[in-house]
Amino acid sequence: MDDLLIRRATLLDGSGGEPVVGDLAVRDGRIRAIGPSLAVDATEVVDAGGLALMPGIIDSHTHFDAQITWDPYVRPSPALGVTTAVIGNCGFTIAPCRPADRELTMRNLTQVEGMSLDVLRQGIRWNFETFAEYLAQLRAGGSAVNLAAYIGHSSLRTWVMGADAARREATADEVAQMASMVRDAMAAGAVGLASSTSPAHNGEGGVPMPSRLAADAEHLALVEAMGAAGGGVYMVTKGGQMPVSLLEEMSARSGRPVMIAALLHNPMNPGAVFKDLDAISAANARGRRLLGQVSCCPLTMDFTLASPYPVEGLASWKPALGAQGAALRAVLADPGFRDAVRAELAAPAVFRLFNGEWDKVHVVEVADARHRALEQRSIADIAAEKGGDPLDAMLDLALAEDLATTFVAQLLNSDEEAVATMLNHPHSIVSLSDAGAHLTFFTDAGFGLHLLGHWVRERGAMALPEAVRRLTRQSAELFGMTGRGLLREGGAADLLLFDPATVGRGPKRRVFDLPGGAPRLTTDAIGVHGVWVNGALVADGRGLRGDAPLAGELMTRFAG
């Protein structure tokens, strides 16, 4: 007797091949049989006529490292079709971490990944110090999706160098200690090593995240340590100063794939992302495995001036970082501060999150009813009406409302022609959801549904079987997740049943379910009929099931 039979589904198997209509039977968490018309007995039978069945989505860029310790359902991802999440991206992990470094680690995450310090303090369960102990905690706690975890460069640095991690290059001895910890983590089951050299990645008070202080030799040594055992993927969110040629050398020396983030299209520097993709192609032509993480979502962030992530990477914003209350308001009101910000925005930059495109910054919600007429209007528009400067207009409004005004900025990746080209690039991977991070700024955990609905159905920018391949098998192969990412007999029953005619992600909305009742943005699935992880139904047409089992596997063995 089988546990589940899905009948008459349009099977998109993840290979990129043409779909076929057929049945799929599941037993003990695995796909037992696939055929045109299976004559089997099953406990549960789903008639999927007209619906499509694909392998569950693999989200290769999440930041669930902290959230998963209090929320094993990693909301909202499973309801959005994600059955496997890779955590630890950019190297911003919470393991390894000594008890004395916990506060600093949380303060850094608050800044770099936009996580509320109160939420982290109330939420994180710290029953570990080493990476292996962290994995043991995850295994004991269970999860609704399958997990693979990177060992994080910034955490290694903090463990070995303490507070100096964010101040200086490492000594040869310190690099050797980190390399040995990388080898231990790989033996414990890490999926690879993650790092960041991006100037957008700052910890508390605007101090660079530790991995940004690493010399090239340190990056190379750690990647070699990762590859020494014949496995692992190296991922890095790179700054403009880190050339693809260095990453090619890292792939060559380690013999391992390199994933490069965050390849987003910047309208103020539209050629940059294609230059990187061309360099990635050239490296592949020379036999290396380099892959660029691209996003199928425009990067749009909600923010208040109390914590304005989009501008916090500006050097001129530094006086405001770490300031609070009256001190922060004084900085924001200072004409000298405003002039410095204007000057920086007027100068060209290789990579910058916010580029002074004031027509793409809007007022979402005012705190004072007298300003209601400003909601939904752009800052450029509001400033033009007053005959003033846009930065002044935004800051003056925020100051008049005790910094409680909510703004939204469309930052990057909104040029649909350019993004379509990036999504179809032979060496790109559709990724960058950042699920688990920036919880009040944006929510792209539904990126897979957006690819299927917007890019495939609405724009016709990609064929459905190819989109499915890019969301499933491509990642499974890259990471060596054997038995996942394809609909095959004997493979894991990670499944997404959806309606191709309606699939998509709903509008973002705010919910208050974080520890202490703090808010986060979320989105609902559209056109999803069922999500199974290892054969267990975790979400249906109404979203995450209340009784969803924690059937995810913590993966610690990956094919070379």
Nearer to Zn ion, 405 or 443 (CB): 443
Least gap, CB of 530 to Zn ion (angstroms):
29
Nearer to Zn ion, 90 or 496 (CB): 90
Q: What are phi and psi of 108, to 5 degrees?
A: -65, -40
Nearer to Zn ion, 90 or 156 (CB): 90
Position of minimal CB gap to Zn ion: 90
Applying CB under 5 A, what is the total number of residues that bind Zn ion?
A: 2
CA distance 482 to 473: 10
Least gap, CB of 555 to Zn ion (angstroms):
20
Show the site string, 80-119: x = touches Zn ion by CB under 5 A, - = not.
---------xx-----------------------------
Least gap, CB of 91 to Zn ion (angstroms):
9
CA distance 541 to 93: 33
Residues 188-227 that bind Zn ion (CB under 5 A): none
Nearer to Zn ion, 146 or 195 (CB): 195
Whether the Cβ atoms of residue 83 and residue 57 lie closer than 8 Å to each other: yes
Least gap, CB of 445 to Zn ion (angstroms):
13
The DSSP letter of residue 81 is T
Nearer to Zn ion, 23 or 276 (CB): 276
Nearer to Zn ion, 293 or 405 (CB): 293
H or E segment and range at residue 539: strand 536-540
Least gap, CB of 434 to Zn ion (angstroms):
5
Least gap, CB of 432 to Zn ion (angstroms):
7
Q: Which two tokens stand for residue 127?
A: 């029953």
Least gap, CB of 201 to Zn ion (angstroms):
8
CA angle 499, 501, 507 (to 5 degrees): 85
Least gap, CB of 260 to Zn ion (angstroms):
12
**Amino acid residing at 445:** A
Nearer to Zn ion, 89 or 410 (CB): 89
Show the site string, 415-454: x = touches Zn ion by CB under 5 A, - = not.
----------------------------------------
Nearest to 388 by CA among 434, 342, 332: 342
CA distance 398 to 394: 6
Least gap, CB of 352 to Zn ion (angstroms):
17
Nearer to Zn ion, 89 or 523 (CB): 89
Alpha-carbon torsion (397, 437, 300, 259), positive or negative: positive
C-alpha distances out from residue 498 to 9, 50, 530, Å:
10, 9, 7
Whether the Cβ atoms of residue 267 and residue 417 lie closer than 8 Å to each other: no
Nearer to Zn ion, 90 or 283 (CB): 90
Nearer to Zn ion, 6 or 82 (CB): 82
Q: Where are the beta strands (DSSP E) in 433-527?
A: 495-498, 504-505, 509-511, 520-522, 525-526
Whether the Cβ atoms of residue 291 and residue 428 lie closer than 8 Å to each other: yes
* Other Cβ atoms within 10 Å of 188 Cβ, number: 17
Residues 293-332 that bind Zn ion (CB under 5 A): none
Helix (H, G, I), strand (E, B) or coil at 554: strand
Nearest to 494 by CA among 513, 468, 464, 525: 468
Cα dihedral 475→480→482→488 (10° resolution): 40
Nearer to Zn ion, 191 or 456 (CB): 191
Helix (H), strand (E), coil (C) string for 397-441: HHHHCCCCCEEEEEEECCCHHHHHHHHCCCCEEECCCCECCCCCC
Least gap, CB of 268 to Zn ion (angstroms):
22
CA distance 556 to 481: 10
Residues 369-398 that bind Zn ion (CB under 5 A): none
Least gap, CB of 203 to Zn ion (angstroms):
14
Burial classification of residue 326, based on how many CB atoms lie within 10 Å of its CB (0-12 exposed, 13-18 middle, 19 or more buried):
exposed
Residues 6 or more apart in contact with residue 386 via CB below 8 angstroms: 393
Nearer to Zn ion, 152 or 504 (CB): 152
Least gap, CB of 90 to Zn ion (angstroms):
4
Residues forming the site for Zn ion (CB under 5 A): 89-90
